Amino acid sequence: MRWLLPTAIILILVGLVGLVFFNYFSFTPSQPGNVRVPFRGPGTPFRSGSFTSNGEQIFFTGTSTRDTITATGGPFWFQMHDGGCANCHGPDGRGGTVAMMGRFTAPNITYKELLKEGFNNDLIKRAITRGQDEKGGSLSSNMPRWHMSDQDLNDVIDYLKTLEP
C-alpha cells in the first residue's frame, strides 16, 4: 500500500487547486435567465478597465477603484463570496427574485424608480449603509449593510441614474 499516501496527497492537491479555481472563476446568474455576474472571490484582482466607471464597478463587483468596500449581513452565500448590487438587484437594477440557497425578492433600484418611491440621494445612501427604507424602517437582512466612502456612494448612485427604470 505504498501508493496510498502519494495518491491521497495528489487528490488533496487537485481538490485545493479546484477550490482556488472555483473562488476565482465562479459565476452565478443574479437572476434566472439573465446575464451572469462575476463574484468577487477572495483576492480577486480589481477588474480595472472592464468597467467604464467606478460606480459601474461597484454595482457589478462590490469593489471600488478608490477604497476598500466591505459589507456585513446579506444571505449566507453573499457573506461567503461577496459580490455587487447586480448579484441581487440584477444587472439592469430592476430587481427580481434571487434564487440562491433560498429565495427572496430584491427591489428595483434604478434611480428614477427610487425617486418615485420617495428616496433622495441621502436616503439612498442611508439605505445602502444602514439598511433603512425611505421612511426609516429597517430593510430585511438580505440587503447587506455596506461600508463605503461618500465618494463611492456618489459614484454608485451616479451609476443607478444611468439605468432605465
**Residues of the shown chain interacting with ligand HEC in the complex, contacts defined by CB under 6 A:** 58, 74-75, 78, 83-85, 87-89, 104, 106-107, 109, 114, 117, 124, 127-128, 133, 139-140, 142-144, 146, 156
Q: Rounded distance, CA 144 to CA 130, Å? A: 9
State which residue, 6 or 136, has the beta carbon closest to ligand HEC. 136
State which residue, 7 or 72, has the beta carbon closest to ligand HEC. 72
State which residue, 50 or 72, has the beta carbon closest to ligand HEC. 72
Rounded to the nearest 5°, which phi and psi values hold at 151? -65, -45
Report in angstroms how near the CB of residue 5 gets to ligand HEC at its nearest: 43
Q: Rounded distance, CA 40 to CA 58, Å? A: 11
Report in angstroms how near the CB of residue 93 gets to ligand HEC at its nearest: 9
- Cell numbers of 146, please? 455596506
- Nearest CA to 146 out of 73, 88, 59 is that of 73
Radius of gyration, alpha carbons of the chain: 18
